[in-house]
Structure 1
Amino acid sequence: MSILKRELLLVDGYNIIGAWPHLRSLRDVDFEQARNLLIEAMAEYQAVSGKEVTIVFDAHMRYGRESKEKRSRVDVVYTKENETADEWIERRAHELVDDRLITLFVATNDFTEQWVIFGQGALRVPATELLKDWKHAKTLIEQQRVSLEKEQANRKTIDIPPHIQAKFEEMRRRKSKGD
């Protein structure tokens, strides 16, 4: 029996926002929207890749304790006050280093961070590679949506549950006996 390994992707949120051109320009106008679009993008990526995604944001404009939330099936972490996303990711990578059932990926363009987590056994994912993978995932999702729409448009019959079909057949037979 083979045991399936989980694949976990930790994303340095503000680092990726700063590295992706469309999010970087949006960040300067609407910081919150840039964050939301990254979360949506990672939800699409997660749906196609099968990797569990956790996005880590520095405690920017948030004070106090670490907070976590689930958005579109993506884990979103805001670090505690005075803790960087890099520090959170390094700590999490260290916790998972001996877990043989997890393959850990870290998405960041921070060169120092890449080498630290690489030294802990995680695989590094540069921002450009993650952007390319997300665009590919988005294309696959769109193709699947179009395919489903075509399939539904080409249907000639209505899906009726079997127990309702049986009732209709019973009614049809009764009517034809009465004619």
Structure 2
Amino acid sequence: MIDSSLIAFNKPYGVICQFSEHEKHATLKQYIALPQYYPAGRLDTDSEGLLLLTNDGQLQSKIASPKFKLPKTYWVQVEGELTQRAIMQLQKGVVLKEFTTQPAKAHMMPTPTQMWQRDPPIRERKTVPTSWLSITITEGKNRQVRRMCAAVGFPCLRLIRVQIGEFNLFHSQLELGKWQAITEQNLYRNAVKQK
């Protein structure tokens, strides 16, 4: 047993965010042998990176709630050469089918060197270049970042969540498929511990 109500997990591609068995995908059960811990928020099966889990229902609601505006940062590999126009659209907010996104913090970035290899690798076309961007949002609608990228003309090939609040996957050196106990103070600068 661990002395923490919150853990951070570096989720591999293809792992579904549930503990119950799944016919097609690996589940959290293959990586985390802790009873009564549940994801606080979602991370799609085809996305990678930081997932928070907790055994505290109040904390789970708080982390997952858009009211608390906990920023989430993603590194995104997209198809094509990113343009400044697309970045500006992401920064202003993007009109999607049922809502307009809040303005995002977004910028182009070089190909990350500390990134693990994805298994399986992304589909690449020799004639089409790829680009990387960093995007930070405070919402968390279904497949939002993927939909935002597609809406500005750059389909997402790979999506890695690298940070939630103040907790960063790479600063903590959390390896792929591993988890570590953290505290709420790791997420919030001025955190109030849950009672």
Q: TM-score, normalised by structure 1?
A: 0.25
Structure number with the higher strand fraction is 2
Structure number with the higher helix fraction is 1
Structure exhibiting the larger radius of gyration computed from Cα positions = 1
Relative contact order (alpha carbons < 8 A, sep ≥ 6): 1 or 2 greater?
2
Q: TM-score, normalised by structure 2?
A: 0.24
